[in-house]
Amino acid sequence: MERITWNQFFMAQCHLLALRSTCTRLAVGATIVRDKRIIAGGYNGSIAGDEHCIDHGCYVVDNHCVRTVHAEMNALLQCSKYGTSTHGADLYVTHFPCLPCTKSIIQAGIKTVYYATDYKNNSYALTLFEKAGVTVEHVPFDERKVDFLRDEKLALYFEMLQEMREAGVDEQKIHTLEKQVTALIGKAF
């Protein structure tokens, strides 16, 4: 198995955290890292003990769910709660941070923000990051790099391919399917 890069490793952590999200509109995860070590993580959801959007629906005011604490804020607050400095740390997040999170990230002393997906990228947020000397880097997440069932999927694919050839399926059809599998799983050969 191929060893993933540090950026893909920490981005995978963010996507794993996002699976805990209780927001029905967008699942987001964030991880704070110092010296290649995870110091905190967060996902978007309600405050501890409150109702969750997945159970009671979003509480929307001005087209924004006010019930939800954003993933970046939850990660920063976790550091605050347990007395862990964020000064000079890196933040990985599944989606580009909103403007309020951008301000908090800067104030917390984060030096680099890595994000996987563009999401309503605010030009003023980019300006603030630049003025504060915070590096912002787009790191697309390749889910195929953390597919724990890749080998089993490939074995099934090769078995099906062989059965299709034995059944006389048109080679052009098989070739088209090969392209689709390669796009989903990665290079199959």
- Point out the catalytic residue in the list 72, 143, 171, 178: 72
6, 56, 166 from 24: Cα distances, Å: 29, 10, 46
Looking at the chain, the number of H-run helices and the number of E-run strands are 7, 7
User: What tokens does 80 get?
Assistant: 């605050």
Q: State both tokens at 69.
A: 């604490």
**For 28, how many CA atoms within 13 A lie in the half-sphere containing its CB?**
27
Q: How far apart are the first and last CA of the chain?
A: 14
72 in catalytic set: yes
Strand partners of residue 42: 30
Q: Which residues are catalytic?
A: 72
